[in-house]
Structure 1
Amino acid sequence: MEVITRAIDKLFPEAKSTRLKQLCPTRWVERHDSILLLQEMLPAVQEALEEVSHWKDVESASMASQLLCALHSSSFMISLQVKARVFSLSSPLARFLQHEHIDLLNAMNIVTNLKGTIEKIRTNAEEEFATIFNASETIAELLSTSIKAPRRTGRQTLRCNIETDNPQSYFKVSLFLPFLDHFLSELNSRFLKHQDVLKSFECLIPTSTSNAEVTRTQEESFKTLLNFYQEDIQIGDIAAIGELHMWYERVKDLKISSREAINYYTACHQDVFPTINTLLKTLITLPVSTSTSERSFSSLRRLKTYLRNTTGQQRLNELAMLNTHRELDINAAEVLDELAKTPRRLEFRLS
């Protein structure tokens, strides 16, 4: 740690970060930051690895030499630049998904914008990758190496065996385009498959509150919701559609600045608009991401440390609840009174 810190202070004295970030196994937003920071501090990483590779500690020197060899590989430098380019665009989405109070509507809008941007890069792949390749060549010069395409063989089954001697063409076909296609595929499978459900819920939130009017398309979407959640709806379709029209009239009198579902749900009276209230409650409770559970996994190592390795399941659950609900005020006297009800050999006293 001290070696990389000295290298960063030497080569990047004005840098805001003085150390690299680890790849967090649970929180993806940390992976964005780690990739972007590594791409920025790559010369300092090389200098630190070169220093460690000359240590007398054989294990550390051998590991540093292996990492240094991987650092100089063309595929690593190209992959790092490609990830940095894409992750710089997806980083706002990753940070937004960490918020506790997000709804499916806002999340889908950001995902749709990100997908459109990545598709533009995919369409202009020739120009985009030319910029990435030039940046990789610049970094290769700083690391005293060069970008080269791997050799081709007559029979290859473990990697792409593209018939070209041009490094730029090879890495565009073997790395850049597959990564973009995979990224778009993951966006579709993880987020955009909710679009059909979201389109139906949009009828509950008018685009304009001043002149909101129910259209024929919105009525059809509303009927789709009524049919899908028929077990939760207590009234008939005709009465529910009439309630939708009255809800739009009510929205005209509301001064809601944003189209967040939670704001409309707060303004929707349960007794006056029971159907709309139920559907809005469903919308705001639809899971967008797993950030909350990711935080719990990240906190687990602080709850169950080496000294608490024999912690029972009940105690661990109680510690997790205390860690989750930190806003609650715990009265130490009440806790001791509760514990004192059970006979113990140790006497509890307030200091």
Structure 2
Amino acid sequence: MKDRESSVRSNLFYGAISSSEFLCSFPILNKLLSFTTNVARSLPNSKIDLMTCISNIEDILQGIQMKRNEPDEEYKYLFEEAQDLAKYTETIIKMPRVVKRQINRDNIPASSAYEYFKLNIFIPLLDHFIVAIFIPLLDHFIVAIFIPLLDHFIVAIKDRFSEHVKKAAAISCLIPEHIADKSYDDLLPAIELYQKFLHCSTAQLKTEFVLWKKRWTDIVTEDSFTSLSSYSGSNPNTVNMKRKEQVFLPDK
């Protein structure tokens, strides 16, 4: 009984792998799935680079679309491979029996086995890969993963760094060209931000700020007069006139 059951299963298995549909589908699927090798390896990776993955999927789509636009060139080699496989099962590639009304499989009219399997297996599989697999997968990456990540990144930057940047920017008060118009209160946000790095009292900070401001205000004023003197030559009246202009300029 077991031998008979095994024999039946063996015959069914042999009939399946030796059918022309299987022999033609196998090299076609092998070719199409070879496009997906890199993406299939990168998807399970926890450190996946989303941009690279999306780029790879787009490349796959373009590659398969090129095959779809000119199917004859690629299909010729795949059909020859199917014929080579048929030799191992001692069969030949032939058209299945068709009827006028076919509901369980594609039934596109064809004049030969070569044309039949191109129209009923190769081209439909190409279309299925493009429309049903890779386009939805690409859309999923963009809509479900990439865009939410961008939104999260933007919100996180606004929440975490906007206030931080404002406080950190207050340290620009110490830049010599800006300090003349600044007070200690303008520096307070930066002091609060970097408090743990400052090993001195508030009184010392205020004193240092006042001395630093006076130092650079005097240097800037001195440099301004020196520049005016060099520009005006040795004529003291010209220098005095320029100094007056220098004094009155801020009031305009």
Distance 2:45 2:156 in 1: 31
Indicate whether 1:164 and 2:110 are aligned: yes
State which of 114, 136, 139 in structure 2 corresponds to 1:189.
Answer: 136
Match of 1:128 in 2: 74
Deviations 1:272-324 (A, max 9, x none): xxxxxxxxxxxxxxxxxxxxxxxxxxxxxxxxxxxxxxxxxxxxxxxxxxxxx
Match of 2:31 in 1: 85
Q: How many equivalent residue pairs?
A: 165
Match of 2:55 in 1: 109
Distance 1:70 1:114 in 2: 30
- Look up the SS of the partner of 1:165 in the other structure: coil
The Cα RMSD (Å) is 3.3
Distance 2:142 2:87 in 1: 46
Q: 1:123 to 1:199 in 2, by over 3 A?
A: farther
Distance 2:24 2:49 in 1: 36
Calculate the TM-score normalised by the size of structure 1.
Answer: 0.41
The more displaced of 103-112 and 191-200 is: 191-200
Does the 8 A contact of 1:137 with 1:146 survive in 2? yes
- Look up the SS of the partner of 1:161 in the other structure: coil
- Look up the SS of the partner of 2:87 in the other structure: helix
Q: Could you tell me which amino acid in structure 2 is paired with residue 190 of structure 1?
A: L
Deviations 1:24-65 (A, max 9, x none): xxxxxxxxxxxxxxxxxxxxxxxxxxxxxxx97222221111
Match of 1:341 in 2: none
Does the 8 A contact of 2:68 with 2:126 survive in 1? yes
- Look up the SS of the partner of 2:90 in the other structure: coil
Q: Structure 2 unaligned runs (5+)?
A: 167-192, 194-252
The more displaced of 163-172 and 187-196 is: 187-196
Calculate the TM-score normalised by the size of structure 2.
Answer: 0.56
Distance 2:123 2:30 in 1: 15
Does the 8 A contact of 2:57 with 2:138 survive in 1? yes
Deviations 1:62-115 (A, max 9, x none): 111100011110000011111111112212211122222113212112111211
- Look up the SS of the partner of 1:234 in the other structure: helix
Distance 1:190 1:110 in 2: 12
CA shift at 1:232, angstroms?
Answer: 8.0
Does the 8 A contact of 2:58 with 2:138 survive in 1? no
- Look up the SS of the partner of 2:123 in the other structure: helix
Q: Structure 1 unaligned runs (5+)?
A: 1-54, 202-221, 244-270, 272-351
Does the 8 A contact of 1:152 with 1:162 survive in 2? no
CA shift at 1:230, angstroms?
Answer: 5.0
Distance 1:108 1:192 in 2: 9
CA shift at 1:200, angstroms?
Answer: 9.9
Q: Could you tell me which amino acid in structure 2 is paired with residue 138 of structure 1?
A: D
From the CA coordinates, give the structure whose radius of gyration is larger: 2
Q: Could you tell me which amino acid in structure 1 is paired with residue 69 of structure 2?
A: T
CA shift at 1:124, angstroms?
Answer: 1.8
State which of 88, 98, 101 in structure 2 corresponds to 1:155.
Answer: 101
Match of 1:62 in 2: 8
Does the 8 A contact of 1:149 with 1:165 survive in 2? no
Distance 2:140 2:46 in 1: 21
State which of 87, 92, 104 in structure 2 corresponds to 1:146.
Answer: 92
- From the two aligned structures, give the one with the greater helix fraction: 2
